[in-house]
């Protein structure tokens, strides 16, 4: 089976690409930086240059891949900023990659799957796609949007035997905190009116990411979804997701917010 993964140069994407390639899948590892994967000696792994912010680039790249059985939308990053400090470009770019990138790749891949009358789309979301946190408003809302895309596409593609799922990871020990978190300078200025919440929450989040679960758990969850056509619409992976998602379902909005504030000392 042929797999296309976006955002494959590091973290969950790279781990999953290698994991599936070693199990016999033909994996096209899409990334803006394919040179980062050139040293990997794995015959089933094919690094390709793929920019999810350009529909033209996606279309041209996928012309060379005649069949795609599985699409894993993984490309994304996190913006850390208050709403007050955001500028227009930061807002647009967060959604351009995390949300519109998913839509663009789906738009290009779905016709191939529809003609095949089968396929699997797995969107890498986040447990933060179901709960809010301060300073991560843009990232959270982009993942909420990915969850909405997943739910709607399940209806839209059902008649063509195209399955659509999302994976909601918790905090994982990848390069995300070092390479995929973008901070707003105004928010992190010591004279910011939000400095108290920044100095309280940010160290906790960074520590939880850097000491988080191994990305191989996400790769194994993806394989399980591929192998089991009766897999649920969304799967949580990792300690934080397993803690917060059930709690979110059980509590009222007010009680859940109180628990989060207590947990993070906000």
DSSP sequence for 199-217: HHHHHHHHHHHHT-B-THH
**Rounded to the nearest 5°, which phi and psi values hold at 144?**
-60, -40
Q: Which one, of 66, 73, 181, lies nearest residue 135 by Cα?
A: 181
Q: How far is CA 96 from CA 6, 91, 136, 224, in A?
A: 14, 9, 16, 29
Is 187 exposed, middle or buried (CB count within 10 Å of its CB: 0-12, 13-18, 19+)? buried
Contact of 170 with 240, CB cutoff 8 Å: yes
Contact of 165 with 121, CB cutoff 8 Å: yes
Sign of CA dihedral 33, 68, 78, 246: negative
Contact of 22 with 42, CB cutoff 8 Å: yes
Length of the chain, please?
Answer: 266
Q: Token digits for 67?
A: 């069949």
Q: Token digits for 118?
A: 């089968």
Q: Is 194 a catalytic residue?
A: no
Active-site position among 139, 155, 263, 264? 139
Vertex 35, ends 33 and 38: CA angle to 5°? 135
Return the active site residues: 139
């Amino acid at each position: 089976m042929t797999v296309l993964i976006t955002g494959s140069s590091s973290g969950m994407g790279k781990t999953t690409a290698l994991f599936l390639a070693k199990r016999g899948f033909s994996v096209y590892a899409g990334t803006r930086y394919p040179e980062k994967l050139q040293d990997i000696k794995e015959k089933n792994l094919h690094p390709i240059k793929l920019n999810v912010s350009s529909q033209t680039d996606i279309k041209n790249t996928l012309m060379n891949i005649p069949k795609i059985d599985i699409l894993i939308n993984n490309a994304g990053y996190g913006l850390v900023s208050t709403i007050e400090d955001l500028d227009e470009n930061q807002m647009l770019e967060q959604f351009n990659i995390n949300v519109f990138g998913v839509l663009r790749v789906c738009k290009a891949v779905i016709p191939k799957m529809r003609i095949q009358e089968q396929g699997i789309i797995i969107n890498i979301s986040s447990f933060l796609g179901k709960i809010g946190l301060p300073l991560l408003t843009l990232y959270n809302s982009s993942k909420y949007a990915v969850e909405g895309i997943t739910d709607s596409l399940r209806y839209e593609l059902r008649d063509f035997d195209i399955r659509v799922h999302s994976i909601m990871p918790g905090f994982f020990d990848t390069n995300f905190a070092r390479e995929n978190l973008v901070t707003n300078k105004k928010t992190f200025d010591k004279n910011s009116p939000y400095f108290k919440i920044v100095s309280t929450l940010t160290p906790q989040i960074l520590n939880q990411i850097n000491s988080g679960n191994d990305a191989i758990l996400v790769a194994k969850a993806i394989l399980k979804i591929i192998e089991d056509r009766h897999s649920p619409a969304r799967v949580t992976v990792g300690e934080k997701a397993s803690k917060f998602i059930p709690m979110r379902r059980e509590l009222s909005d007010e009680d859940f917010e109180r628990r989060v504030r207590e947990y993070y000392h906000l």
